[in-house]
Each structure stands twice: as structure tokens, then as C-alpha cells.
Structure 1
Amino acid sequence: MTEQHTSGVHHFASDNYAGAHPEVLAAVAAANVGHVPAYGDDPWTARLQDVVRAQLGEQAVTYPVLNGTGANVLALQAMLPRWGAVICTEAAHVNTDENGAPERVGGLKLLTVAAPDGRLTPELVDRQAWGFGDVHRAQPGVVSLTQATELGTVYTPEAVRELCDHAHARGMRVHMDGARIANAAAHLGLPLRALTTDCGVDVLSLGGTKNGLLLGEAVVVLDPSAVVGVDFLRKADMQLTSKMRFVSAQLVALYEGDLWLRSAGRANAMAARLRAGIDAIGSLDVVQPTEANAVFVRLPAHVARALRRRWRFYDWDAADGTVRLMCAFDTTEQDVDELLAALADALDDAPAPEGGAPATP
């Protein structure tokens, strides 16, 4: 193990880097008692149904799964026939970070559109919502939006409702990738159902891992008429875990009270602190609004190199130097302030010329 993995450094690469929340670990330990039926026929999974209905409405049916890719593939596969297609942004996780799983496992076609701020609009949807009835074209059947988006932006309830109404009017359903829906809700100060059920979203991939779980997400069916065969597909897609109580117990711990909101709110607050500090420096270009728990900023190459001596973070656009700095539920003010101080120091240092020798004053 390298030093940066053993020193307790909190990195800024991804909220997936964070460990599990202590309350989640306690819930797993509490579920580790005796023998209970497997494959979801257990008290924790039954309790999860009630917990999610309290958050999202009485029609909600919850299917715990192992990971976000599995949740998205299962949801989309259950919503579409074999000839169906999904409209999403070019930056959508289902398009860029799931190794073709919607196509390979789900057998679906992704129809992508460019969205500079990560958010779909009815006008962008219509760039791919055509060819209905044409046997030569995969049939658009689902609009998939991400909340919060991969660019750290957030859809308002009005924007989600407009998309849902637009899609439904054209005979399409709406899926929401809610891996970071808690961050979106925390930013807007709204309950989860105000961004989903109340807006007309049909199926939600409900996040967990990015907000303090060991592992686990859930497919939440908000309109039962929007899906077919979820139970069978979950098994076929290798997302039906035998000891499901341990996934369900984590989700109960996250969503029964306000842990989801406390954790997401903390991550958002740290991103806002980081953004304010970068703005105060004054010489860097932040390329997206900071609405959830991510900051996208262009860094000179020598600055990025200097910061990477201690922290990990991802290049977003290597061509122009844009990087993503992500905060998590366990990011602290000290973590942010140390990064900002190192950033300011690196900007003050003149870049070394080729060959690594110090620059001449």
C-alpha cells in the first residue's frame, strides 16, 4: 500500500473513495444476528419497502441491488423492449462509465445528445426523439436523466416536471439515475419525492454507495406500469444477492431518518467551501456551477502535478486542464483548507522548464 493510502488523507477524486458511515456500519452489525431467509425475504428488506414509501410515495416498490451500474441496467432493461432505446446526455454515467453494460447486458441502444451543463431539456430530447415506428431505427422509449448531473449541476423540480411531461406526451418513460440525488435534494432544500414522484419520474436508481454505504443501491419503481419483469431481470443481471439483509439494512439506515441529508449536505457544504476558496484566489477558471459536491476547475499543468504529490483527483478534460474535485460525507474543513493552501502555493511557484530544473528568477 502506498503512503497516500495509509496516511488518512482524504482525496478529492470521488465520493466513492470515502469509507462507510459509522451509522451504516452499526446497521450492518445489528443485522448480523442469527439466521433469516435469504434473497430478500427478511425483516430488513421488508422494512426498506416502508422506508422508501415514506420518502417517495405509497406506490413505490424497492429492489435492492449491489451497485449503481446494476441499478441503471436493471431499471432500463425493465422499462424497454429489446428494440428500445434510451435518450441521455453524452456525459451520462450510463454512456461514459459503465463499459457498455446497457448495450452488452441490457441489449439497449443509447441515443446521446450534447448538454454543456449536463442537463437535458425538452429541446435536447427532441434531437433524438424521432423515427417512431421506423423499423430501421431503435425506438426511443426512455429518457434517462442524472440528478445531480455528472457535471455537478442540479435539475429543479420544474425542469424535471417539464422533461417528464414532454417525454410522456411522446409515449416515452422517464428514468432518473439518482446516484447523487441526496446531494441534489440537499442543495434545493427539498424532500426526495419533490424531485421524483411529484414530477412524474417513472423509475429511480436510488443512490447509496456515494453517500456512505459499503455497497448497495436500489431500483425504485414509482409507476408500476412502467416496468416488466424486474424480479426476474434482477436475478438474470446478477444483482440479486442472497444475503440481501445487509444491503437493505444499510439503505434503511441511510433513508429512515436524515442520515442521507446530513451526509449529502456535508459533502455539498465542503464543495461550496472549496469553490469559495478557489474564487477567492481569483486566477482560476471554474467551468461549471457548484451546486452539489463537485468543483470543476482548469488547473495549469504544473499546479496539477504539485497537488498530485499528495491528493488524487480526476482529469475531466485533459485537453484544457479541467479537473474534477469531489467532496464526500467525511470531507472536513481542514481537508479543504489544506488543499486550498497547497493550490495557492503551487500557483505562486513558477513552473519548471522542460527537464525539471528550477525556473530562473
Structure 2
Amino acid sequence: MSLHDIARRGFASDNYSGVHPEILDAIAAANGGHQSAYGNDVYTARLQEVVKGHFGPDAEAWPMFNGTGANVTALQSVLPRWGAVVCAKTAHINVDEGGAPERVGGLKLYTVETPDGKLTPELIDREAWGFGDEHRAQPLAVSITQSTELGTLYTPAEIKAICEHAHSLGMVVHVDGARLSNAAAALGVGFAAFTTDAGVDILSLGGTKNGALGAEAIVVLRPGVAQGLAYARKYTMQLASKMRFVSAQLIALYEGDVWLRNASHANAMAARLRSALEGVPGVEFSQPTQSNGLFVRLPAGVADAVREHYFFYDWDAATCEVRWMCTFDTDADDIDAFAGLVKDACAATS
């Protein structure tokens, strides 16, 4: 028996959707019998091969429970206690992780204002200074998000420029890849093109936002960069005892094309929604729609009127800016009905 209205839809987050049927099937297939605990199982071993196929022969996967845990543990593993992280002010690690990088990871975050959620070598330099100064936490890592918290994308060339600049300063580069699949689908390239081949050292590979029940992973791309990761995963409470069920989800997502189908569909639904509302009086898009998220300013009162039928979040209530997210199970009927409500609400305010 379902405790919720399964016909209820929304555009609040790609975490609101259910689990992709092929991933549910994979969890069921991994059930039954006994397998070794804590990652010493055949599913986690198979995941290593899947990840190497995407990121290259040196890639190593460390399954995790959630994205915040993956980000914090990854950054801890590449930094000394005196290390700091340069990131965009809008970065998830700064805005949406409850202070976990500082509280749990003990990491200083140096945040930089960006117009579109993207760092550049020049923006990094605003905080990448004071090397050797004992009075300043040392900026030894750069963290970028792909796709960004504003729905924008880094090109492979942009990430390569960041990596080359960061490495020249002795910094490592981490990618928060909660929506890495959406970025790859939008760019039309494989993951390696804008991670391994661009010089990224370590990344957080998302699964939950793209159809998994609850599965993420740290992927180490440069051997030796993440010292003590096995211990860090344990003391940050991210070591799954029945890891086969986390690994089985990631295998189902990434071994074939489920990740690409899901992400491509979510991106296409976002593009459909933008197309339906572009030019509507009162609707002002505040960012380009490059993946599965839309950022929009609406006339006062419109958001609340539409939220009576579809839930979504305010992004900046002061400017009536909202965020709409599409996911793998958003369909054309959802888009058309939602766009119609937005148009009607905007017309009622004119």
C-alpha cells in the first residue's frame, strides 16, 4: 500500500523521483544468499571494471551512501589538516551541506562569487594565494560542480584549463558530480573527456539524482592522490556493511546506457519546458538551460499560485527567482500541464 499520492508530480528536485525499474531489479537480483561485507563482494569488484570502462584503467571506485558524504570524504582524503578548498559561492559544499565540510571534514572553504556557478583560473586566483603563510589555511584544492548548481556546464576545455592552472599551483582538483550524467549527456561526450582526460584528480559520482535508490561513489582518477581514503570512509560513517546493494545500483546505472537514457530524457524535458515558456510575458530565465535545471524569475504571486498544483523551490525569494528541476520520470504531459499553469498565472497578474 502506498502512503502517498503516486499521481502527484513536482519540479522541486531530481531527488523527488522514485527509483528506475532496472535499478530496483538489480537490487532484487543482488539479494539472497550471502556475500562478504564491507565491499569484499563480487558486485563491488564488478563496479571497479565498470568505472574503469568510463574513466580509464587507473580509476578506482569507492561506493558511498550520499553526495555530501562523498564530497566531504573525497576532499578530506586529498588534503592535509591545514588544507583549504576554493569553490564557487553557490557550490553545494558551501550552500547545501549543513557545514559538513567544516564541521565533519575540518576544511576551510574559500568561496568565490561567479555569475554562472562556474570557476575559471582567474576566479580561482582570487583565493589561491598565501602559500607558505602559516596564518592562512592553505588553498590546496579546487572543487567544481558538473553540471553546476545553476544548471550550467563546463566544457572539457574549461575544466582542462582549471586543472592545469590548479596543478601549477600545487592544488588538486575535485569534481562534485552529483549530476555528472546530465553534463555528459548534454555535452555529447563520455565522462573521461571532461574528467580524466582534462586532468581531474578525484570526483564524486552521482547516482541518486539519476534514478538510483541511494548510491554515490568517490572515483579516484590519479593513483596516490587520496591517501587514507579507506580509513576516511569509515570514520565519516560512509562504509556500507552490505555494500553489494550500493554497488549493484551503480552497476545497473553505469554498465549499460541507463545513465545516459535517464539523463538525456531529463535534459530534454527541461529544454521542452523552456521552449514552452520562452517569450511568455513575465517569465524571465536567469540562467541558460544547459542540463536538467531551469532558473526563472516570475511575477510576484505566480510561484505560489502554481505551487498549489506542483511543488518547487524558491531560489531567491527576494527577486521571485525559482528553480525547476526535471528528472528521468518527468514526462511530456507533466511539462505541458505545468507550462499551462505558469502561463495562466502570469496572465492573471498582467
TM range (shorter): over 0.9
Aligned residues: 349
Cα pair distance change 1:79/1:265, threshold 3 Å: same
Q: Which runs of 4+ in 1 moved over 3 A?
A: none
* AA aligned opposite 2:215: G
Partner residue of 2:345? 346
| Structure with max Cα Rg | 1
Contact kept, 8 Å, 1:4 with 1:311, in 2: the verdict is: no
Pairwise CA distance, 1:286: 0.2
Partner residue of 2:150? 151
Partner residue of 2:222? 223
Deviations 1:18-53 (A, max 9, x none): 000000000000000201110000010000000000
Superposed counterparts of 1:246-261, under 5 Å: 246-261=245-260
Cα pair distance change 1:347/1:282, threshold 3 Å: closer
Partner residue of 1:276? 275
Residue aligned with 2:15, SS:
helix
Residue aligned with 2:249, SS:
helix
* AA aligned opposite 1:189: G
**Distance (whole Å) between structure 1 residues aligned to residue 6 and residue 47 of structure 2:** 36
Contact kept, 8 Å, 2:281 with 2:346, in 1: the verdict is: no
Contact kept, 8 Å, 1:175 with 1:202, in 2: the verdict is: yes
Cα pair distance change 1:143/1:90, threshold 3 Å: same
**Distance (whole Å) between structure 2 residues aligned to residue 52 and residue 208 of structure 1:** 13
Contact kept, 8 Å, 2:269 with 2:332, in 1: the verdict is: yes
Partner residue of 2:162? 163
Superposed counterparts of 1:313-328, under 5 Å: 313-328=312-327
Partner residue of 2:74? 75
Pairwise CA distance, 1:303: 1.0
* AA aligned opposite 2:22: E
**Distance (whole Å) between structure 2 residues aligned to residue 101 and residue 335 of structure 1:** 35
Superposed counterparts of 1:1-361, under 5 Å: 5-350=4-349
**Distance (whole Å) between structure 1 residues aligned to residue 171 and residue 306 of structure 2:** 46
Pairwise CA distance, 1:301: 2.3
Contact kept, 8 Å, 1:117 with 1:288, in 2: the verdict is: yes
Percent identity over the alignment is 60
5+ residue gaps in structure 2? none
Residue aligned with 1:15, SS:
coil
Deviations 1:223-250 (A, max 9, x none): 0221110001100000001000000000
Contact kept, 8 Å, 2:87 with 2:119, in 1: the verdict is: yes
**Distance (whole Å) between structure 2 residues aligned to residue 333 and residue 142 of structure 1:** 41
RMSD: 1.3
Pairwise CA distance, 1:5: 4.5
Residue aligned with 1:205, SS:
strand
Deviations 1:154-199 (A, max 9, x none): 0000000000000000000000000001000000100011110000
**TM-score using structure 1 length:** 0.95
Deviations 1:55-95 (A, max 9, x none): 00000011000000000000000010000000000000000
Contact kept, 8 Å, 2:282 with 2:299, in 1: the verdict is: no
**TM-score using structure 2 length:** 0.98
Pairwise CA distance, 1:350: 3.6
Cα pair distance change 1:34/1:210, threshold 3 Å: same
* AA aligned opposite 2:60: V
Deviations 1:273-322 (A, max 9, x none): 01111104244110000000001000122211110101111111111000
* AA aligned opposite 2:94: N
Pairwise CA distance, 1:348: 1.7
Which stretch shifts more, 298-307 or 154-163? 298-307
Contact kept, 8 Å, 1:208 with 1:251, in 2: the verdict is: yes
* AA aligned opposite 1:62: A
5+ residue gaps in structure 1? 352-361
